[in-house]
Chain A
Amino acid sequence: MEQSFEDLIRIRDRYALEERKMYINYATKLNSLTDEALRNNYVKQFGDACLQDIVGQMIRSFLPSADMYVTADQIMKRVVTFSYKVDYDPLKEQGAVRTLAYNYDEISGIAEFVNNPDFITKLKLDRGIYAGKSRSSLSDYRKKVLVDKKTNTVVDELTGYVRPDQIQEGNNGRTTASLEGDHKVPISEAAVNEEFTRNIDAYIAELERIYNDKDNIWYIDEKANNIKGDISNPEDVIKAWETAKPEQKEVLRQRGYLDENGKVPEHIKSKLREGVESSRKNINVDIDKAQLRNLDVRAVGKHGLKKTAAAIPKMAIGQLLYYMLPPIVYETKCIIISSKEKKLDPESIVAKLEKAVRRIMDYTMHHVGAMFANLAHNTAKNFVRTVFDLVIALLKSFLRHFVRIAKTVVLSVLDSIRIITQENSSTAEKADSITNLFVLALTNVLIEIAAEYLELYGVPSVVMEAVQVLVSVVASNMVFILMEKLDLFDVRYGFKITKLEQILADISKEYDTQYIELRDRTQEEIDVIKNEIRQQISEIQKNMEERDFYNEDVIEDVERINHLFDMNIGFQKEWETFILSPIQ
């Protein structure tokens, strides 16, 4: 059947329809891809990050690899996923920021070093004028215990027991009074770390002043004080009173220090404990301040260097392991697999080995620069850590927490410097990592400090450690995710927009290609039809000119025209109607 214009139109219409469908398909695809690119799957990110970190933290807590400055799980991942083309290098990755922050608060084992008994000297300090008996002219005594000047009535600071002050001359020439001044934190505890303190005489004088401060003195019954002696621990004091000789216990009972059952009453117990504890806290602060003022910085530095130098071999091993282990494992895997597959003989295996070794050496040499940079950086960090840890170990009060925070900040600064000098990220990305680093590190150290306080309530430390790991990880990840959301430097926003551009470019290209293919294909079909029709027309034209109408029926030609233009003429029927009727 010859072609007609209807065919032409049909093909063209069909093409228009297909083209429309194609557009709608691609527009829909564009839509869903952009939606996906913009979607933030925080929940999944959070879960994944937490899991990864918990594993890492467990290893960190129970495997002492912090000194090597690469964690075991990082090495694991690097080794397992290594290939020359795809090289997982956590030392370069941004996500490693989190792991860095976790590592800052680690104490490097220097504490035991500081508490080396060789360094510490116990002191015998002068008890000062507050203790002992002479008191009537002392304003402090008068303020605290004197109730009635006229009758010389005094109140016992521990029991609250009021009675007149009795001064007696003892048989050994000692004068005793009802109340005696007692150091809450015993002065016999005073000690100095000669290694790390300078101006020792001035320091000792400080200590004297601190221990004999009126806030560290209270006035208690002379008998009780006698029995107590130099015991400082409240629990031991209570025991001493409760297990005293019977006649002494009688006196204590009279003076209110024991009840009828021979036990120390609750209110005295708690006052005792609180008093000693709060005084100890205050004293520690003052001692720490004195220590810091008289810190022998040179000694601290010297020891820090010594320890760091000792750590360098370990760090170097860490670096070598980090760079050489993965390719070794990878090459071994390849050789084993290929020797199994191809059933190689020993000679070819050896040849492969030679090539493998060469590749490994090439790879390692390529990264020597990175190794030395890492080593230098890690040495600096080790030194900072050691020095700060020394100072932290020397302090006893909450002041040491400030030093911990300072240590975290300094270590963050060191790592920030490294991040800034790395070439492979944009400024916004660097600013981003640095901010994350500081925020995370501070979060972490604050959580550790909080954990310490919790520990004072008597939770076993093993449990505490696990809890702390979990809380640390969860909090850090939440902070991390929040930082991502805040996106303070618009890094993630920038990534998203770039992704959108990419998607549009890809889809446009695909759409264009498909469209052109469809259009050209259709055009070919249509051209064929057009040519065929033109041919028909010229044939008809020829016939119209040449046919002998007396001898040739033009039915063929008019039918062609009929079909071509879809005229719906029934020539046969019309003719029959015409001739079969009688002539009028």
Chain B
Amino acid sequence: MSIKDIAKNTWKALLEAPKKIVGAVEHGAKHFVREDTRLQNIDKYKDIVKQYEQQLDKSKEIVNRQIRKYNDTIPLINQKRRADFRDILEELYRFLLQLGKLAQNKWDFSFEMTRAEELGFLEERSLTDYKAWIMPYEKTESQVFDEVAKGLIIGYRIENGKWNEEIEKKCKEIRFATEGVQKKYASIAQQWQDRTFIAATYLECIELIHETITERIIPELELISAFLLAESVKNNIIANIPIENAKPLDISAIKGTIYGRHYTFVKNAFQFYILSRQIYQSPILTRLTQAEQSTSIYSNDKLLITQQKELLQQQSDVLCADIMR
């Protein structure tokens, strides 16, 4: 290195020195007015809000998974009802029509409903609130300089102290809310799990009913029909009534007789018919699980919060009165 270089470097260092000193003073001043603490706190706050958001996403996924499982069961149920139950309804109807009064065979099928996947609902509002809350506490460099230049250093320090406390307090609030969210959606996921259980059980049941009817009721129907007709004809012949207009035997008449077992069977068939009709026409599962009512759980939240707010208002009024005394 030549002397020129050394001189150049020394000159450069000399020029840097004031900047470094100013930097150090600035750093000290920033610490004194608690500026650096506030900026740290703002970063911490944003971190915590991000974690809150992440928890929301996680919880949403957990609930949606359960809802999907529920939704997967529904088409199976609907399919069974629509196709298979229609068939047995018609068979049973034809049989029973001969024997008693039935309503018309206009059966209106109604679908069991699925539940749409949920979005970020109540919590989305709180999330935007949290994100917006921190904004007044973020000041630009020029605003900070103005405050300090005004000479209100001590005042600014005290202000910053207050702000820091408020930010810390809000951080705690959000952290607690994160836990609350996790638990709330855990219980909602559980509810959907229960519903899936109900749906699966319902499917099992209607499969059982269908199987029973198909294999143990319907095969017997023709035989019984024929028998009852034959009996009626026999009776007509005995009673000398023309047999062309013979109708099957009155059911109530054979109750208690040696042919009573037919009575029982017909009654059973009828009961199965009624059951099947209800299964076909009514969205039993949907009504049971109230799947289409979307706000039942969440509306309670609003109610609870309003109640809580009133209670707190009462409490604070009492406290104020105490302090006055």
Listed in ascending order, the chain A residues whose CB lies under 8 Å from chain B are 5-6, 8-9, 12-13, 15-17, 19-21, 23-24, 26-28, 30-31, 34-35, 38, 485-487, 490, 493, 496-497, 500-501, 503-504, 507-508, 511-512, 515, 519, 526, 530, 533-534, 537, 540-541, 544-545, 549-555, 558, 561-562, 564-567, 569, 571, 574-575, 577-581, 583-584
- Cβ-defined contact, A515 with B194, below 8 A: no
Q: Which single member of A501, A511, A540 contacts B208 (CB below 8 Å)?
A: A540
Q: For the complex, what is the distance from the CA of A20 to the CA of B122, rounded to whole Å?
A: 13
- Having A28-B308, A581-B100, one finds 7 other A-B pairs with CB under 8 Å, namely A17-B304, A526-B194, A550-B264, A561-B275, A575-B267, A578-B270, A583-B99
- Cβ-defined contact, A553 with B301, below 8 A: no
- Cβ-defined contact, B301 with A20, below 8 A: yes
B residues less than 8 Å from A545 (CB atoms)? 212
Q: Given contacts A486-B154, A540-B208, is CB(A565)–CB(B288) below 8 Å?
A: yes
Q: For the complex, what is the distance from the CA of A490 to the CA of B41, rounded to whole Å?
A: 15
The number of residue pairs between A and B whose CB atoms lie closer than 8 Å in the complex comes to 177
Q: Given contacts A579-B100, A584-B101, is CB(A552)–CB(B264) below 8 Å?
A: yes
Q: Which single member of B268, B275, B304 contacts A549 (CB below 8 Å)?
A: B268
B9 at the binding interface (Cβ < 8 Å): no
Shortest 5 CB-CB contacts between residues of A and residues of B: A581-B101, A578-B100, A550-B261, A23-B180, A544-B212
Q: Which single member of A503, A550, A562, A584 contacts B172 (CB below 8 Å)?
A: A503
B96 at the binding interface (Cβ < 8 Å): yes
- Cβ-defined contact, B175 with A16, below 8 A: no
Contact with A along B269-292 (1 / 0, CB 8 A): 111101100110010110111100
Listed in ascending order, the chain B residues whose CB lies under 8 Å from chain A are 34, 37, 96, 98-102, 154, 157-158, 161, 164-165, 168-169, 172-173, 175-177, 179-180, 183-184, 187-188, 190-191, 194-195, 197-198, 201-202, 204-205, 208-209, 211-212, 216-217, 220, 247-248, 250-252, 261-262, 264-265, 267-272, 274-275, 278-279, 282, 284-285, 287-290, 296-297, 300-301, 304-305, 308, 312
- Cβ-defined contact, A530 with B197, below 8 A: yes
B residues less than 8 Å from A17 (CB atoms)? 300, 304
Interface centre among B195, B198, B297 (most CB of A within 10 A): B198
Q: Which single member of B102, B208, B275 contacts A578 (CB below 8 Å)?
A: B102
Tell me the smallest distance from the CB of A302 to a CB of chain B, in Å: 46
B residues less than 8 Å from A504 (CB atoms)? 172, 175-176
B residues less than 8 Å from A581 (CB atoms)? 100-101
- Cβ-defined contact, B183 with A16, below 8 A: no
Mostly helix, strand, loop or mixed at chain A's interface? helix
- Cβ-defined contact, B304 with A21, below 8 A: yes
Q: Which single member of A26, A497, A515, A569 contacts B274 (CB below 8 Å)?
A: A569
Tell me the smallest distance from the CB of B118 to a CB of chain A, in Å: 15
Q: Which single member of A9, A26, A554, A571 contacts B289 (CB below 8 Å)?
A: A9
Residue contacts A-B, CB under 8 angstroms, 12 given: A9-B290, A20-B184, A27-B176, A34-B169, A487-B161, A493-B164, A497-B168, A500-B168, A544-B212, A551-B264, A554-B271, A569-B274
- Cβ-defined contact, B252 with A579, below 8 A: yes
A residues less than 8 Å from B187 (CB atoms)? 15-16, 19, 519
Q: Which single member of A12, A35, A577, A583 contacts B194 (CB below 8 Å)?
A: A12
- Cβ-defined contact, B271 with A555, below 8 A: yes
- Cβ-defined contact, B282 with A583, below 8 A: no
Q: Which single member of A12, A16, A553, A562 contacts B268 (CB below 8 Å)?
A: A553
B residues less than 8 Å from A574 (CB atoms)? 270, 274
- Cβ-defined contact, B158 with A486, below 8 A: yes
A residues less than 8 Å from B296 (CB atoms)? 13
Q: For the complex, what is the distance from the CA of A574 to the CA of B100, rounded to whole Å?
A: 11
B residues less than 8 Å from A26 (CB atoms)? 176
- Cβ-defined contact, A16 with B297, below 8 A: yes
Residue of B nearest to A27 (CB): B176
B residues less than 8 Å from A487 (CB atoms)? 161
- Cβ-defined contact, B284 with A565, below 8 A: yes
Tell me the smallest distance from the CB of B85 to a CB of chain A, in Å: 14
Q: Given contacts A20-B184, A578-B96, is CB(A533)–CB(B34) below 8 Å?
A: no
Residue of A nearest to B316 (CB): A32
Q: Which single member of A15, A530, A537, A577 contacts B204 (CB below 8 Å)?
A: A537
Q: Which single member of A38, A486, A565 contacts B165 (CB below 8 Å)?
A: A38
- Cβ-defined contact, B287 with A566, below 8 A: yes
A residues less than 8 Å from B212 (CB atoms)? 544-545
- Cβ-defined contact, B312 with A28, below 8 A: yes
Residue of A nearest to B271 (CB): A558
B residues less than 8 Å from A571 (CB atoms)? 271, 274
- Cβ-defined contact, B284 with A24, below 8 A: no
B residues less than 8 Å from A549 (CB atoms)? 216-217, 220, 264-265, 268-269
Residue of A nearest to B212 (CB): A544
B residues less than 8 Å from A579 (CB atoms)? 100, 251-252
- Cβ-defined contact, A500 with B102, below 8 A: no
Q: For the complex, what is the distance from the CA of A5 to the CA of B195, rounded to whole Å?
A: 9
Q: For the complex, what is the distance from the CA of A21 to the CA of B100, rounded to whole Å?
A: 56
- Cβ-defined contact, A38 with B194, below 8 A: no
Q: For the complex, what is the distance from the CA of A512 to the CA of B179, rounded to whole Å?
A: 9
- Cβ-defined contact, A567 with B284, below 8 A: yes
Q: For the complex, what is the distance from the CA of A512 to the CA of B186, rounded to whole Å?
A: 13
Q: For the complex, what is the distance from the CA of A512 to the CA of B168, rounded to whole Å?
A: 22
Q: For the complex, what is the distance from the CA of A515 to the CA of B186, rounded to whole Å?
A: 11
Q: For the complex, what is the distance from the CA of A528 to the CA of B27, rounded to whole Å?
A: 66
B residues less than 8 Å from A555 (CB atoms)? 267, 271
B residues less than 8 Å from A561 (CB atoms)? 205, 209, 275
